[in-house]
Chains A and B, each alone.
Chain A
Amino acid sequence: MAEELIKVTIDGQEFEVEKGRPLIDVINEKGFGVPSFCYYADLELQASCRMCLVRIEKMPKLQASCVIRCTDGMEVTTKSEEIEKAQRAMGEFLLANHPLDCPVCDRGGECELQEVIFDWGDVEERFDEPKNAHPEKFLSPIVANDQQRCILCKRCTRVCHEWMGEDAIEAGNRGSNTVIGTYGGWLNCSQCGNCIEVCPTGTLLDGVYRHETRPWELDQTITTCTYCSDGCQLSVGSRADEVHRIVARDRYVNGINGEFLCIKGRFAHGFVNHGDRIKTPLIRYKKGGKLIPSTWDDAIAFAAERIKESKKAGVVATSRLTNETVHTLKRFADECRDGTSYAVSDTYDLAPFFENLSAPLCTHKEIRFAETIVVIGGDVDEEQPLTAKQIRQAVRNGGANLILVNDTPSRLSHQASQFIHVNPGTVEAFVLALADPSAADMAAAKMGIGRAEIDKARETANATKGDLIIMFGKELGAEAQAVAANLPSRHENRNVKLHPLAGYCNSVGASDMMPGRKPVADVVAGSDALLIAGSLSDEEFAAADLASKPFVAVQELFLTDTAAAADVVFPAASFAESDGTYTNNDGFVQRVRRAIDPVHQAKPDWMITSLLASELGADFGYSFSASAVFRSIAESHEAYEGLRYPDLKDETRPVRVKHKLVSGADVSGAVASLRDRVSQFPDAADKITEEPRVGHKLHRVTTMTGKTPQFHLLANGNPKPDDLLVSPLFQFNPDGSPKKEEESEVAAG
């Protein structure tokens, strides 16, 4: 889009800028710098802090530059005695009720208010009226709130409203009594913590990192989140080989997600330094025996010998592993023994999608500026929070059409311009209806909707001039995926983009790394020696019966069910302890960086596999350097060709993987089998009308999230304690029952 360029003069220098841009953005971009607290790019304007005052010629008073749009011939002065006087007066007002308790405030050191005031050197304080004092309290197990530090910039309320669509936090009362809070004083929301992130002062604070250390003591390592497939860029704050917190603050990291993170990415890092991590390699010498701590040499030798003895070996990767690991596992399967089968454990296999891909994947930025977004199935709010945020902003701030096809209502369905509420489990029928208009009537009947709804969606899509983005979730089977991947090639609009709502952080990468993989069940059933990196899902584990296998080796962080059933367990390094890359659902390959040394005796997954391979006589050509593994990936995978780690070093410019596009592929076979499938759906079914609780998936206690104690409370209903001044962790047991009562019962008994 070519914007009209106009001339703006700032402090005597003339610049060419796009017409209509916020003046404050231009001033800061050109390096003049005005302080501001309430302005936040891409949020609704507030203009309440009055710090970004500038003098604009021909305007009678000083103007707040955040609400001024650039116009031609504007002459702006950013620094003068008059402006500084006004700003200092505002600073004095802001400090009128702000306690100077920086030494105990967790925000001290990266507080925007502190920085601005500190730059001035001194601020005269003339207020001697009593301050509106409130004690520091908890809003939830994860969010701590100190009301009197608030400067009422309302960034938190706007973020909650615009990014999360939750309206969980608002400014109550009036005048000097205004406080940020909630109805009833307790925060029941998805606990994303974005309000904490954007807060310019220490009003909202991280309850997990509470009083742990100070920001300048932390080493900030830019890395990629290990939870969902959105691949948010975050900064791991570590000190003395311990991960203390995770933030996405733009002073440290500026990735695809800006400052956005979800509860899991931001708070569920307790597993990294958890005491339950496997400390040494473990060997079960005899079936039915115990796992006995051992040395690396013994464990590798033992495992190699058993794999050598076996008739047929199998390798199972999981989609939480780095590309480097999955690639090494693939090479292990190919080069160590002939006929070794391999699989990737994931919520759903993306192979049919990438084989028929007819349009590029869309980026998160494109979602924000899309014109029409079609979301077929999935649970974006709970499983891909960044995608959900981008959709929400596209609808709210960009006026995009959102067509949501799902069997369960969700937060996003309130904002959808068209919510197609289908019968449970019939989402695939919508793909059929789009691909094959002749089957639309049948599909509509199976979905329990009117034909008109499909036609309306089709009309909206056809009328789209800008980007049309089609997203789909795990409800789509292999045929439906193939058909969905082929949809853009049969659409007249050429700006169609696809977005798979993949399950895990490296679902896309693992799919790229292991072409020709088999289903997990086949690999497990067909081999008598297994190497599993990570853990199988509960269903896979139940079906696998690992105990009956002659030999199973597992690389894991914790003694999960899979690891407990293994004969050899190797302690693997977590994402914070190893180098590597993840490929997200945009197709961006992003770096995972080592923030701390591996805890105990853990080693990165790929290193374990290559150690085992060299014991078996295969030489991969790398043993210590992740960048050498990536070079091997670049050499053997077309999509990653020519990439090296230095190309990936800048998180602000992520690098796209070149997935092969197939245009005009014949998917009539897939359409036919999809039609057969859909025709077998039951004709009538009760629709799910109840909207699930916010956070029903985000707050789930899993192997990783369960290591952060706050998640147990959230999963057990987030009970409100009697005393809000003390962390709920000290007042409740992990199951959500109050601690005090138990004590008194013990005393009584």
Chain B
Amino acid sequence: MATVATDYTNKVKVTDEVAEFPESVVEEMRSHLTKYPKDRSRSALIPLLFVIQRERGYIDNPGVNFLAQFLNLEVTDIWETATFYSMFNMHPVGKYHIQMCKTLSCKILGEPELTDHICSKLGIKPGETTKDGKFTVTRVECLGSCGTAPMMQIGFEYHENLTKEKLDDLIDSLE
């Protein structure tokens, strides 16, 4: 058959499976709900997505189904929000999630070369995870630190004013 579609959303196998969480986690989710007006419960989506990601490693299908029931939303609504933000992973990622900012300032100041460098060092392409499951490299939209471009984010930590040497040191220190 013809070549397989490249859109990564196709890889998600949608099932009816709903994730189960311990009572303490559900309680935490409920506490997020209380921060918003009763008829605006969907506003709690982003804090809840963080909880799902923390509990399940990434935003997986059973987690999405759970949220859809919890907030009375359609799965597509959750997909829309979760894919918009680069801090939510729709697919399993490595221990260190390296997010290279690819927007204007960083790009002008050499982000493509840095990404190529880090990818060739790790032996992967952007969007992939190393075989040992340690690193994932993705290129993301602006992370809001244009003044210190080029920059990247590992986990929730910013690393700014990057150079190839700085990158090498950083990767080595993580290994």
Contact = CB atoms under 8 A, between A and B. Distances in A.
A738 B23 CA distance: 41
B143 to A, nearest CB: 12
A184 B12 contact: yes
A184 B9 CA distance: 5
B120 interface: no
Contact of B10 (A166, A173, A175, A185): A185
Contacts, number: 80
A172 B64 CA distance: 15
A726 interface: yes
B174 interface: no
A591 to B, nearest CB: 39
Interface centre among B6, B72, B75 (most CB of A within 10 A): B75
B169 interface: no
Interface string A110-150: 00000000000000000000000011010000000001000
B1 A726 contact: yes
Interface stretch (B28-36, B46-54, B76-84, B152-160): B76-84
B1 A723 contact: yes
A183 B16 CA distance: 13
Nearest to A147: B7
A414 B39 CA distance: 13
A236 B3 CA distance: 35
Contacts of A183: 9, 12, 14, 64, 75-76, 78-79
Given A135-B5, A147-B7, A726-B1, A174 B79 contact: no
A173 B79 CA distance: 9
Contacts of B4: 723, 725
B15 to A, nearest CB: 9
A174 B140 CA distance: 9
A355 interface: no
A77 interface: no
Contact of A167 (B13, B61, B77, B86): B77
Given A184-B12, A186-B14, A167 B76 contact: yes
Contact of A174 (B3, B64, B86): B86
B7 A181 contact: yes
Chain A contact patch, size range: 20 to 34
B83 A167 contact: no
Contacts of B75: 183-184
B27 interface: no
Interface residues of B, number: 29
A134 to B, nearest CB: 6
Interface string A159-192: 0000000111111111100010111111000000
Contacts of B84: 172-174
Contact of B6 (A135, A166, A720): A135
Given A184-B13, A184-B14, A168 B76 contact: yes
A172 to B, nearest CB: 4
A725 B5 contact: yes
B86 A185 contact: no
Contacts of A720: 14
A307 interface: no
B141 interface: yes
A185 B9 contact: yes
A175 B141 contact: yes
A720 to B, nearest CB: 8
Interface in B49-92: 61, 64, 72-80, 83-86
B83 to A, nearest CB: 4
B80 A172 contact: yes
Nearest to A183: B79
Contacts of B10: 137, 184-185, 724
Nearest to B61: A184
A723 B3 CA distance: 8
Nearest to A740: B1
Nearest to B2: A725
Interface string B83-114: 11110000000000000000100000000000
Nearest to B84: A174
B5 A134 contact: yes
Given A184-B12, A185-B9, A170 B1 contact: no
A621 B175 CA distance: 95
Contacts of B2: 135, 723, 725-726
Contacts of B3: 135, 725
A537 B79 CA distance: 43
Contacts of B85: 174
Contacts of B83: 172-174
Given A175-B141, A183-B64, A185-B10, A170 B5 contact: no
A188 to B, nearest CB: 8
A137 B5 contact: yes
Contact of B12 (A179, A185, A414): A185
Q: Name the 8 nearest CB pairs between A and B, nearest first.
A: A184-B14, A183-B79, A167-B74, A170-B80, A185-B10, A172-B83, A184-B12, A170-B76
5 contacts: A167-B73, A169-B76, A170-B80, A172-B84, A723-B1
Interface of B: 1-7, 9-10, 12-14, 61, 64, 72-80, 83-86, 103, 141
Given A172-B83, A725-B3, 4 more contacts: A135-B2, A183-B12, A723-B4, A725-B4
